[in-house]
Chain A
Amino acid sequence: MSGEKRRWIIFAALFAVAIISYILPIQIESRPSPEVQKSYDYIENLPDSSVMMISFDHEASSLPEIQPISLAILRHLFRKNLRIIGLSLFAEGTAIGYEMLNRTARQYGKIYGRDYVFLGFKPQHISAILGMGESIRRVFPEDYFGNETDTLAVMQGVDNYDKVAMVISIADGDRAVQWIEYAGARYNQKIMAGLTAAMITTYDPYLGSGQLYSVVGGLKGAAEYEKLSGHLGAGNRGMWAQTTSHIFIIVMIIIGNIVYFRSKSSQKGRG
Chain B
Amino acid sequence: MDIGIIIAGLLTLAIYSFLYRDNPVYKAAESLLIGLSIGYALVIFWQTTLVDRLFRPLFNEGDLILIIPLLLGLMMFSRFSQKLTWLSRLPIALMIGAGAGVSIPAMLYARTLKQISASVAPLYTASGGFDFSALVIILGLLSTLAYFYFSRRHEGAMGKMAKAGTYFLMIFFGATFGYTVMSRLSTLIGRIDFLLTDFLHVLR
Q: Which residues of A contact B (CB under 8 A)?
A: 4, 8, 11-12, 15, 18-19, 22-23, 59-65, 67-68, 91-92, 94-95, 120-123, 126-127, 130, 142, 180-182, 184-186, 196-201, 205-206, 208-211, 218-220, 234, 237-238, 241-242, 245-246, 249
A250 to chain B, nearest CB (A): 10
Given the known inter-chain contacts A126-B103, A205-B115, A238-B189, please indicate yes or no for A197 contacting B180, CB distance below 8 A: yes
Q: A94-B44, A201-B175, A218-B183 are in contact. Are A180 and B110 (CB under 8 A)?
A: yes
List 27 A–B pairs whose Cβ atoms lie within 8 Å, in order of A's numbering. Answer: A8-B21, A15-B16, A18-B188, A22-B193, A23-B196, A23-B203, A60-B37, A61-B33, A64-B187, A64-B193, A64-B194, A65-B186, A68-B190, A91-B45, A123-B48, A181-B110, A182-B106, A196-B183, A199-B179, A209-B118, A210-B118, A218-B183, A234-B190, A238-B190, A241-B192, A242-B189, A245-B188
Query: A185 to B102, alpha carbons, bound, how many Å?
Result: 13
Which residues on A sit within 8 Å (CB–CB) of B193?
22, 64, 234, 237-238
Interface of A is mostly: helix
Q: How far is the CA of A120 from the CA of B51 in the complex (A)?
A: 14
CB distance from A174 to the nearest CB of B (A): 12
> Does chain A have a CB within 8 A of B182?
yes
Contacts A23-B203, A242-B182 known; 4 new A-B pairs at CB < 8 A: A15-B19, A198-B180, A209-B117, A219-B182
Q: Please indicate the chain B residues that have their CB under 8 angstroms from the CB of A210 in the complex.
A: 118
Q: Once the chains bind, are B183 and A123 in contact (CB under 8 Å)?
A: no
Which chain B residues border A126 with CB–CB below 8 Å?
Answer: 99, 102-103
- Minimum distance in angstroms from B98 CB to a CB of chain A: 9
> B110: which A residues are within 8 A, CB to CB?
180-181, 184-185, 206, 211
Query: Cβ of B202: which chain A residues have Cβ within 8 Å of it?
Result: 23
Residues of B bordering A, CB below 8 Å? 16, 19-21, 33, 37, 40-41, 44-45, 48-49, 52, 99, 102-103, 106-107, 109-111, 114-115, 117-118, 137, 172, 175-176, 179-194, 196, 202-203
Instruction: Indicate whether A242 sits within 8 Å of B115 (C-beta atoms), given known contacts A22-B192, A91-B44, A180-B110.
Output: no
Q: How far is the CA of A238 from the CA of B194 in the complex (A)?
A: 12
Inter-chain CA distance A200–B186, complex, in Å, is 14
Shortest Cβ gap from A213 to chain B (Å): 14
B117, closest chain A residue (CB):
A209
- CB-CB under 8 A from B192, the residues of chain A are 18-19, 22, 241
Given known A64-B189, A219-B186, contact A92–B19 (CB-CB < 8 A)? no
Contacts of A123 in B (CB 8 A): 45, 48-49
Residue of A nearest to B118 (CB): A209
The smallest C-beta distance from A204 to any residue of chain B, in angstroms, reads 9
Docked pose: A19 CA to B203 CA in angstroms: 12
Q: In the complex, are the beta carbons of A121 and B48 less than 8 A apart?
A: yes
